[in-house]
Structure 1
Amino acid sequence: VINAEKLRVAGNKLQDKMYHHHTGYIGNLKSINLGKLLEKAPERVLQKAVKGMLPRNPLGRSMLKKLKVYAGTEHPHSAQQPKPLDI
């Protein structure tokens, strides 16, 4: 997936949608909203969305390893020549 930085959402999701993770220490639940995560690491937003749709088993984890997300149009996969899809 390329151009993850151009992701757009409807409504107040940029301020209201929260992503949480725990550091492992007692009481250290870290939270960040969608707007800040898009500025910091836009590829992580799509990775988390796809991860939530995959099955929670070894097959889902192996499928997630194959997902490549890039913020811009540049990527190191020279053998692949993606073409735009006109809809």
Structure 2
Amino acid sequence: MNNTNVQKCSNKQKWYLIDAKNQTLGRMSTYVAKLLIGKYEITYTPHINSQIYIIIINAKDIIITGEKKYNKKYIKHSGKPGSLKIENFANLNKRIPTKIIEYSIKGMLPKSKLGRKLFKQISVYKNEQHPHSAQKPQTITTNL
């Protein structure tokens, strides 16, 4: 008879550090989303959390190509009349540079309970300082 092997959730956490300085937003976001989902792991299973935690530093130095710096819009609405807020990339990057990377990665994750759990495993910081040095993250130095 054929037996099916079912992967179980491992409790071993892996921590990665990614420097966003001079990285293209879309290319870095797709790499981070795939890494977070576990696509680069040998034991990839779509419905299991791979226990990968990612720290992204230097979010203020992210770059985007073309005229998107002025044309890309970030829209939020509270649901109340007259509360629509529209902001372009340049203004949001000055104000809250971490939100740009978070929005980009969140859009690439699955829209389910697992996707919401995976999103909590990302930490984005606008400078080089981060409080996760005790976890000894592995630095990823790829040009994306």
TM-score, length basis structure 2: 0.56
Helix, strand or coil for the counterpart of 1:48? helix
**Candidates 46, 50, 58, aligned match of 1:3:** 58
Moved over 3 A (4+): 81-84
Matches within 5 A, 1:1-87: 1-79=56-134, 80-83=136-139, 85=141
For structure 2, list consecutive stretches of 5 or more residues without a partner in the other structure: 1-55
Amino acid at match of 1:83: T
Letter in 2 for 1:45: I
Specify which structure has the higher proportion of strand: 2
Q: Which runs of 5+ in 1 are unaligned?
A: none
* One-letter code aligned to 2:132: H
Q: TM-score, normalised by structure 1?
A: 0.90
Percent same amino acid among aligned pairs? 36
Q: How many Å apart are 1:14 and its aligned residue?
A: 1.0
Q: Which amino acid aligns with 2:81?
A: I
Task: Please state how far the C-alpha of 1:59 moved relative to its aligned partner.
Answer: 0.4
Look up the SS of the partner of 1:68 in the other structure.
Answer: strand
How many residue pairs match? The answer is 87
Instruction: For residue 72 of structure 1, report the CA deviation from its aligned partner.
Output: 0.6
Give the structure with higher Rg (CA): 2
CA RMSD of aligned residues (A): 1.5
